[in-house]
Amino acid sequence: MEIILTPVVVSVISSLLALIIVVVDGVVNNYGEVEIDINNSKRKLKVKGGAPLLQTLSSQGIFVPSACGGRGSCGACKVKVLSDVGPHLPTELPYMSKDEIKENIRLSCQIKLKKDIKIYLPEELFNIRKFKGIVESLKDVTYDIKELRIRLVEPNEVNFKAGQYMQLVVPPYENIKEPTQRAYSISSSPSDKNHIELLIRLVPGGIATTYVHKYIKEGDVVEIVGPFGDFYMRDTNADMIMVAGGSGMAPIKSIIFDMWERGITNRNIWYFFGARSKRDLYYLELFRELEKKWSNFHFIPALSDQLPEDEWTGETGLITNVLDKYLQSVIPNENAKEGYLCGSPGMINACINVFDKHGVKDVYYDKFA
């Protein structure tokens, strides 16, 4: 008798208690409906509470930039919150300046919606969409850079400024269990409204670049979100001094070809393409052809570590040194100049120093680096 009674009693008691836990969980973790008030009631959303602000907004078609897909590792999803959502969490503090903390700027991926909230979003954000597209081609342009060309299906048209970037959605694969997003600059020109072209360099161990280099095939369906970013051509008459190497060429190529297509050819453009050796160079013919047709456009590729078999006759040395040399003695002094940079933080800082030395103060660069 005991042998049956014991497990029965223990199981019944445990099950009853488990039931109570489940019920309490349902009540306590159910935040009900909350209202998001955007830009002082310009737009009001009624949504289901409990999820982070970032995800909730994106499920409603409003895309706050995020380079890490909401994991709290990029600091790009900052939103100004006008109502009280509690003190800053320890996960938000590393990304906030003192001023931002005072103005209650928060990381929208860390704020859980537990009650009605009032926020402020800049106007440009409402232009951002999530696109479904098909991989039209995946070409190797160098040994570690691939050109990914996507034909947009739904919506099938995109409007962006040359120089902006898109966020590619990387679905789960292998032992990566959750989808994530990574930002890549657009290398195609805005005139091609139905396509998005990205240049992606393989980073060893990188979640997104491994996916692109090893798993994507032509014909695959992909999702991208955008456009984002405030790196684009400034509408002045100043000379444009552009420096970018590797996959950093993407926004520069987009800007240059956009200007050519729209007939904005009166400005002088100097594009310095820095690379180590010949195998890092690509699109050389493309730019050299453009140089022949467009007298104000100058293309200067430079190798810093060439191999003997490269038989390179062009400029050599670190790109910052080449830039310095040209600013010193080749580029005419009369005109105002603007700098456009895309590359690693180290290169950008070094170039800013060179620009500063030559009195070029207006320098623009791709900030998500």
Partner 1 sequence: MKMTPKFIRAQENMKPGKITADGFLGGDDRNIVDIIAADEEEFDYLGLDFVQVEKLLRKLMREGLKGLGESIRYDKWEIRIDEARGFLPCPFQDGIFRKRVATVKNLNNGAEIIYSELSIHLLAAHHFLQGKGAKFRLEPTMIKSVLYE
Partner 2 sequence: MMYPNINPLVLFFASIFTSNILLTNFLGMCSFISISKDIKSSNGLGVAVTLVTTITTALNWLLEKYIIMPLDLGYLRYIIYIIVIAAVVQVLEMVIDRVSPNLYMVLGIFLPLITVNCAILGVALFMQLRNYSFIQSVFFGLGSGIGWWLAIVLLAAIRKKTDNAPVPAPLKGVGITLITIGIMAMAFIGFAGMINVQ
The site map against partner 1 for 49-78 (x = CB under 8 A) is ------------------xx--xxxxx---
Smallest separation (angstroms) from partner 2 to the CB of 90: 8
Question: Contact between 330 and partner 2 (CB under 8 A)?
Answer: no
Binding positions for partner 2, 87-106, rule CB under 8 A: 87
Q: Is 171 a binder of partner 1 (CB under 8 A)?
A: no
CB 145 within 8 A of CB 199: yes
**256 vs 347, which CB is nearer to partner 1?**
347
Q: Does 221 bind partner 2 (CB under 8 A)?
A: no
Stretch that binds partner 1, among 87-95, 151-159, 219-227, 252-260 (CB under 8 A): 87-95
Backbone angles phi, psi at 237, to 5 degrees: -105, 10
Nearer to partner 2, 18 or 307 (CB): 18
User: CA-to-CA distance for 255 and 286, rounded, in angstroms?
Assistant: 14
Least separation in angstroms between residue 25's CB and partner 2 is 6
DSSP-based three-state secondary structure for 303? strand
Gap between the Cα atoms of 83 and 270, Å rounded: 48
Site for partner 2 in 6-45 (CB under 8 A): 6, 9-10, 13-14, 17-18, 20-21, 24-25, 28-29
End-to-end Cα distance, the chain: 71
Structure tokens at 163: 């120089």
Q: Which two tokens stand for residue 240?
A: 């444009």
Beta strands in the chain (DSSP E): 33-38, 43-48, 78-81, 105-107, 117-120, 129-140, 145-154, 165-170, 180-185, 195-201, 221-228, 239-244, 269-275, 297-303, 315-316, 337-342, 362-365
Q: Which of 266, 271, 197, 201 is nearest to 227 (CA)?
A: 197
Instruction: Give yes or no for residue 273 binding partner 1 (CB under 8 A).
Output: no
Binding site for partner 1 (CB under 8 A): 67-68, 71-75, 90-91, 94-95, 174-178, 182-183, 201, 203, 205-207, 210, 276, 304-305, 318-320, 344-347, 350, 368-369
List of residues contacting partner 2 (CB under 8 A): 5-6, 9-10, 13-14, 17-18, 20-21, 24-25, 28-29, 86-87
